[in-house]
Amino acid sequence: MTIDPILNPFANLDPADIVSLRRVFDRHSFTEKSVGDVLPACLNGNPTSNGAAPIVLRALREENPLNLLIRLFLVNASIPEGPLREVFGDRLFSGLVAGGLLGPTPGGFACPLIVNPLRGFYIIHDTISARVADFSRHLVMGVGTSSLTPANATPRRHYRRALDVGCGGGFQAFHLATHCDKVVALDINPRALNLGRAAAILNRADNIDFRLSDFYSAVEGETFDLIVSNPPFVISPESEFHYRDGGLGADRVTETVIRNAPDHLAEGGLAVIICEWASLHGGDPHGRLKEWLSGSNCDVWVSTSKEDDLVSYAMSWLRSYRAHLSPEEFRQTFDRWMDYYESLNMEGIQTGLVVMRKRTGNNWLFIDEAPSVIRGRWGESLLQLIDIHTLLHTATVDELLDQRFKLASAARMRHIYEQVGNRWASSEADIFLVEPLPYSGRVDQYTAGLCARCDGTVPLRQLVAGMGEAVGVTFPEIVEAAMPILRGLMQRGYLIPVSLLPPDPEAPQA
Ligand SMILES: C[S@@+](CC[C@H](N)C(=O)[O-])C[C@H]1O[C@@H](n2cnc3c(N)ncnc32)[C@H](O)[C@@H]1O
């Protein structure tokens, strides 16, 4: 059998050499932190971004092993043989050359791929310049925002079986391998699977099963406790790259991943999927997503970004991928993209993080615009929000009023005062969360007061009754007026039912 070096660039690389390479990385502290410490600040810790190479090469001219590893593995610099032998040793150097991780250049040797230390893992992926290489369809992408969003949102609890759909170089799978017993990582691109397999050795992750698969085809009949996916969701007339446009047309990649996820979720299992869908003229911007989710047997929480207008969307993709075209070719390509959107009756493009939790029964769907910047990793907050939504969906108003609530510790308030006569009188307040989902909103002074009193000791009924007295209305009237506002605060995690809070480690033991 002949081996295609595009699909399997590491066929001749001895796994023992990958193990030795990791030792070299450890010895010289080739880590995200050390790399970040020596990079010029203007690169924001990202040496692999477009145009970064000359900056990295100039800044890291001093000869030392860490600089050599950065130049070699992050910006594909050519390095003379002598220093390479010094850092790797003769045996490993020869192994890396034989295995294709070092290729000859006029001045020495260079690595044809990126080996990127990120989040405690090494991700092996293609360079940006490979977008125009003859194997570009099989190009394996690096780690971008669409990779980080699901990675940051995924709860890092212990799960038995996890699935990564469209694993690429394995960024999601390596995260999953740290907290799940077994991970199945699927991709249609054999090159991605082979880069992932090599990186798994570097990452000492031995619980990932990389499988060639057309979406879920290789896991037929299997269920998982956790699914994560960053599929090739870009909506365009192209089918150029496995990693970007998937080749199904319109938003059918998203449809396929979303529609089929429930069949592969165990009861209670969670799917975290970043994706895009078309919003059509004259319809609900989320109409298509809702249709795919109907009857899914999942509760669904969706956090969307602002809708992209088609011109800006097409332009941003074309500027990154078609900058080399002549102005006339560029215009024609742009026209082709816009004609395509017109033919699909599209008005805009929605981007969202779709989180599905399987719960056979009467399900809820909540679609909300995401706060602009979500900081850090927020998987636990996400689970808490889903639990709150389920409670709001299943409990009666009386049952909710019997619950005790606590104001989130990340909640803050800014009061607004109005001039009344010759003094300031408090009117409304801006309420916001400082982390991890920094929602913000405005509440009236009575709701602001109620929130302050949510310390987890008093049932909501009592607080709402007090609010009614302050406003001068009956209890049923205040319940009717206040509950929609309070529900909104609960849905975004300002007010958390004590029953859903993690146990307080400081609390005295019974
Ligand atoms: C956007 S990349 C995501 C890579 C990685 N999971 C991450 O989050 O950084 C999408 C991946 O889906 C893969 N893919 C495209 N079409 C597929 C299909 N029909 N079945 C499975 N995977 C597919 C691509 O090869 C690519 O690796």
State whether 300 and 380 are in the same domain: yes
Question: 374 and 402: one domain?
Answer: no
Identify whether residues 143 and 202 lie together within a single domain: yes
Rounded Cα gap, residues 112 and 400, in angstroms: 59
Last residue of a domain, one of 51, 77, 112: 112
142 lines ligand 1 (CB under 6 A): no
Q: Atom 8 in ligand 1: which residue has the minimum CA distance?
A: 147
Query: Does the beta carbon of 147 lie inside 6 Å of ligand 1?
Result: yes
> What pTM does this model have?
0.96
Report which of residues 51 and 402 the model is more confident about: 402
67-74 mean pLDDT: 98
Boundary (domain end) residue, out of 328, 359, 391: 391
Q: Which two tokens stand for residue 47?
A: 């040496």
Last residue of a domain, one of 89, 112, 135: 112
* Distance of alpha carbon 123 from alpha carbon 174, whole angstroms: 9
Does residue 510 register a pLDDT over 60?
no
pLDDT of residue 130: 76
Residue 136 pLDDT: 83
Query: Does the structure show a pLDDT above 80 at 482?
Result: yes
Angle at 344 between CA 342 and CA 346, to 5 degrees: 70
Q: Is the residue at 399 inside a domain?
A: yes
DSSP string, 18-81: HHHHHHHHHHTT-SHHHHHHHS-GGGTT-TTSTT-HHHHHHHT-S--HHHHHHHHHHS---B-H
**Cβ proximity of 143 and 194 under 8 Å:** no
Contacts (Cβ under 8 Å, ≥6 apart) of 26? none
Are residues 279 and 133 part of one domain? yes
Cα of 378 from ligand 1 centre, angstroms: 23
209 and 355, same domain (yes or no): yes
Has residue 497 got a pLDDT over 60? yes
State how far the Cα of 123 lies from the Cα of 282, in Å rounded to an integer: 43
Q: What is the pLDDT of residue 373?
A: 81
Distance from C-alpha of 48 to C-alpha of 130, rounded to nearest angstrom? 13
- Percent of the chain past pLDDT 90, that is, above it, reads 88
Of 135 and 110, the one with more pLDDT: 110
Q: What's the CATH code of the domain at 269?
A: 3.40.50.150
Tell me, using a 6 A CB cutoff, whether residue 256 lines ligand 1.
no
Same domain, 66 and 178: no
Task: Work out the angle at residue 237's Cα, subtended by the Cα atoms of residues 231 and 238, and round it to the nearest 5 degrees.
Answer: 65
330, part of any domain: no
**Distance between CA atoms of residues 169 and 87, nearest Å:** 26
Residue 36 confidence (pLDDT) above 90: yes
At residue 74, the pLDDT reads: 97
Ligand 1, atom 17, residue with closest C-alpha: 188
Whether 314 is in a domain gets the answer: no
Closest ligand 1 atom to Cα of 167? 6
Rounded Cα gap, residues 375 and 365, in angstroms: 24
What pLDDT does 290 receive?
98
Residues 6 or more apart whose CB falls under 8 angstroms from that of 303 comprise 352, 353, 355, 368, 369, 370
Whether residues 374 and 493 share a domain: the answer is no
Note the pLDDT tens digit of each residue in 213-259: 999 999 999 999 999 999 999 999 998 888 888 889 999 999 999 99
- What pLDDT sits at residue 212? 98
143 lines ligand 1 (CB under 6 A): yes
- Residue 108: the pLDDT is 97
Say whether pLDDT at 72 is over 90. Answer: yes
Mutate to test the pocket of ligand 1, among 235, 242, 257, 260 (most ligand atoms within 8 A of CB): 242
Query: Is 336 part of any domain?
Result: no
First to last CA, the chain: 67
Q: Over the chain, what is the mean pLDDT?
A: 95
Which parts of 178-268 fold into alpha helices (H)? 190-202, 252-260
> Is 509's pLDDT higher than 70?
no
pLDDT tens-digit series, residues 393-441: 999 999 999 999 999 999 999 999 999 999 998 889 999 999 989 999 9
Pairing verdict, β 423-433 and 404-407: unpaired
- b/e string for 228-245 if b means 16 or more Cβ within 10 A? bbbbbbbbbbbeebbbbb
Peptide bond into 83 cis (omega under 30): no
How far is it, in rounded angstroms, from Cα 405 to Cα 409?
12
- Is the shortest distance between the CB of 168 and ligand 1 below 6 Å? yes
319 in a structural domain: no
pLDDT of residue 505: 73
What letter represents residue 240's amino acid?
Answer: E
Q: Which atom of ligand 1 is nearest to the CA of 140?
A: 27
Please write the tens of the pLDDT for every residue from 451-473: 999 999 999 999 999 999 999 99
CA separation for the pair 149, 72 (Å, rounded): 28
Question: What distance in Å separates the CA atoms of residue 165 and residue 146, rounded to the nearest whole number?
Answer: 14
Index of the ligand 1 atom closest to the CA of residue 166: 12
pLDDT at residue 339, as a whole number: 98
Mean pLDDT, rounded, for 345-374 = 94
Number of domains in the chain: 3
- pLDDT tens for residues 127-185? 987 777 777 889 999 999 999 999 999 999 999 999 999 999 999 999 999 999 999 99
Same domain, 436 and 491: yes
Closest residue by CA, ligand 1 atom 12: 166
pLDDT in tens, 184-203: 999 999 999 999 999 999 99
Atom number in ligand 1 closest to CA 144:
9
**pLDDT at res. 508:** 67
User: Would 4 be classed as within a structural domain?
Assistant: no
Q: What is the per-residue pLDDT across 441-452, written as a single tens digit (0 to 9) for each?
A: 999 999 999 999
Integer CA distances (angstroms), 473 to 84, 156, 446, 499, in order: 80, 46, 13, 29
Q: What is the CATH number of the domain that holds 423?
A: 3.90.930
What letter would DSSP give residue 360? S
Q: Are 50 and 107 contained in the same domain? A: yes
My answer on whether 74 and 158 are in the same domain is: no
The predicted-structure confidence for 257-302, as pLDDT tens digits, reads as follows 999 999 999 999 999 999 999 999 999 999 999 999 999 999 999 9
Section 359-374 average pLDDT: 92
CA distance 49 to 331: 26
**361 and 240 both lie in a single domain:** yes
Q: What is the pLDDT of residue 96?
A: 98
> Is the residue at 329 inside a domain?
no
Q: Are residues 187 and 108 in the same domain?
A: no
Q: Which residue range(s) make up the domain with 200?
A: 125-307+348-391
Residue 509 within a domain: no
